[in-house]
Amino acid sequence: MIALIDYGMGNLGSVDKALQRVGCQVRITNDAEVIQQADGVVLPGVGAFDDCMEHLQSCALVAPIKDAIEQGKPFLGICLGLQVLFESSEEGSKLPGLGVLKGRVVRFRHNLKIPQIGWNQISIQRHAPHLGGIADGSWVYFVHSYYVEPEDEGIIATTTEYGCQFVSSVWRDNLFACQFHPEKSQDVGIKILENFGKLSGEL
Amino acid sequence: MLAKRIIPCLDVKDGRVVKGIQYRNFKDAGDPVEQAAEYDRQGADELVFLDITASLDNRDTMLDVVNRTAEQVFIPLTVGGGIRTIDDIRNTLKAGADKISIMTSGILTPDLINEGAERFGSQCIVVAVDAMRVPRPERDDSNLGLAPDEEIEWRVWTHGGTRETEVDALQWAIEAQQRGAGELLVTSMNADGTKAGYDIELLRRISESVGVPVIASGGAGTIGHMYEALADGKCDAVLAASIFHFKETTVGQVKQELAVRGITVRR
């Protein structure tokens, strides 16, 4: 069973539908026990950094999420679910992030339109198992104004060009997190979710 | 590099796709879920459903269409038409939409844009601007060397293109962004359904005035028109209906020709 974390923000429907499409059993949950029992954990997210952290705290989800990652459970972060893994964000003035990964989240500094909305290409830096069967230069769907700057460049899985080269996904052991939305990235995204399902022993 | 997006639009009335000319004379154009899946196969980058059902009783029909589409099509899905309240936004997102397009309600109750953006994020609030080109009223300075394109302006129309307002389309586009719109869907009402080309001047003026993506709509008759909207109109995406519904061309053909002409597209 995959625990799809519901912290009262954003729209889980499309992630849920896409995971079910590849054959995963999904539980939408904010229950620490369900997360503990899950074979894999997905942290989705849209909205603002501080709001997300506030909701994670008020739902008492900070510890369960960190535990799941430390225990080596397959973990997938999507969009804001990638950003909150880091220590801080320029968007969030009050609250620190989960700090699972070292580094911060910064805003695009260029004259291109912000948010970046639409399809862009990933340049694969490290062949994470989540990217199995996915060609370098594949197109995925983005909606964001901020991106992550990991301290350890060794965790970078893919980069993408939008006025600058930014980190579009990271991979460390059991943890994979992407700035783009696999649930909206047609066949490429479905493949990533399928790979995640396999790594979780679901498929 | 970010690709320019090609977005087929499905006008849905009582659960069926229809296509009208300048908002009238609707012809049946098929089943929405089937068509959505077909456009997905052709390589559409997103889909827009506009619910033009007149009565409120049929809202659930539309939500059912959205729900069934979202189960099999994994590209962004925008739903507009008749969205009046935060609850409407929530229910439509819950049914599987990724973005909500707000038009009439944006003019009547502009705070809906702010509130929607705060609750659900700007990324899911698209403000649709239906604009009608009008001659600028006679003024004392009209002969003082203004460029020809400054002698026209655009007014916002509401209620599916049936009611004129005094609102200036360019001003409204800027205000909508300030209120939290994440994208603007700009339709030229003069051009819509005519297949004579987008209103490039309208698109360019709005696109240069805002910092969020602009989707061009209304008037696509050829792939060349789409090229103009992207290259000259400086838009980020083009939306088209009849050119796709009546199978004059496919999304794949559009992308191929745009790529030849130097536009970055997802293929």
CA dihedral B106, B112, B116, B119 (to 10 degrees): 170
The residue whose two tokens read 């300075």 is B141
The residue whose two tokens read 């209103």 is B199
Domain count, chain B: 1
| Minimum mean pLDDT range among A112-126, A182-196, B148-162, B202-216 | B148-162
* Pick from A169, A80, A180: nearest CA to A120: A180
| 3 state SS of B159 | coil
E-assigned strand segments in A113-180: 116-121, 123-124, 139-144, 146-150, 156-161, 165-172, 175-178
Options B51, B130, B192, B199, the catalytic residue: B130
Which one has a higher pLDDT value, B189 or A158?
A158
Does the pLDDT of residue B143 top 60, yes or no?
no
Residue in B79, B266, B267 to test binding to A, most A beta-carbons within 10 Å:
B266
Question: Mean per-residue pLDDT for B158-176?
Answer: 92
Question: Given CB atoms, is A139 within the 8 Å cutoff of chain B?
Answer: yes
Does the pLDDT of residue B33 top 60, yes or no?
yes
pLDDT in tens, A160-181: 999 999 999 999 999 999 999 9
Domain presence at residue B188: yes
The residue whose two tokens read 């370098």 is A136
Domain presence at residue B84: yes
pLDDT tier for residue B248 given thresholds of 50, 70 and 90: confident
* Pick from B184, B47, B48: nearest CA to A113: B184
Domain count, chain A: 1
Q: Are strands B5-13 and B47-51 parallel, antiparallel or unpaired?
A: parallel
Domain presence at residue B123: yes
Domain presence at residue B58: yes
Domain presence at residue B121: yes
Query: Does the global pTM surpass 0.95?
Result: no
CATH number at residue A160: 3.40.50.880
- What's the gap between Cα B53 and its chain centre? 17
CA closest to B122 among chain A residues? A47
Determine the structural domain holding residue A15 and report its residue range: 2-199
- pLDDT attached to residue B150: 63
Does the pLDDT of residue B147 top 60, yes or no?
no
Q: What's the mean pLDDT when you consider all of chain A?
A: 94
- pLDDT attached to residue B71: 92
Q: Please confirm, yes or no, whether A79 is among the known catalytic residues.
A: yes
Domain presence at residue B266: no
Q: Please confirm, yes or no, whether A181 is among the known catalytic residues.
A: yes
| Minimum mean pLDDT range among A81-90, A165-174, B18-27, B102-111 | B18-27
Does the beta-carbon distance from B1 to A190 stay under 8 Å?
no
Among the partner residues A112, A119, A161, nearest to B5 by beta-carbon distance: A119
Task: Confirm if B187 and B129 have CB atoms less than 8 A apart.
Answer: yes
CATH number at residue B234: 3.20.20.70
pLDDT in tens, A21-41: 999 999 999 999 999 999 999
pLDDT tier for residue B155 given thresholds of 50, 70 and 90: very high
The upper half-sphere exposure of residue B197, i.e. CA atoms within 13 Å in the direction of its Cβ, equals 12
Q: Which two tokens stand for residue A200?
A: 């979780």
Question: Given CB atoms, is A186 within the 8 Å cutoff of chain B?
Answer: yes
d(CA B224, CA B261): 10
Question: Given CB atoms, is A13 within the 8 Å cutoff of chain B?
Answer: yes
Domain presence at residue B267: no
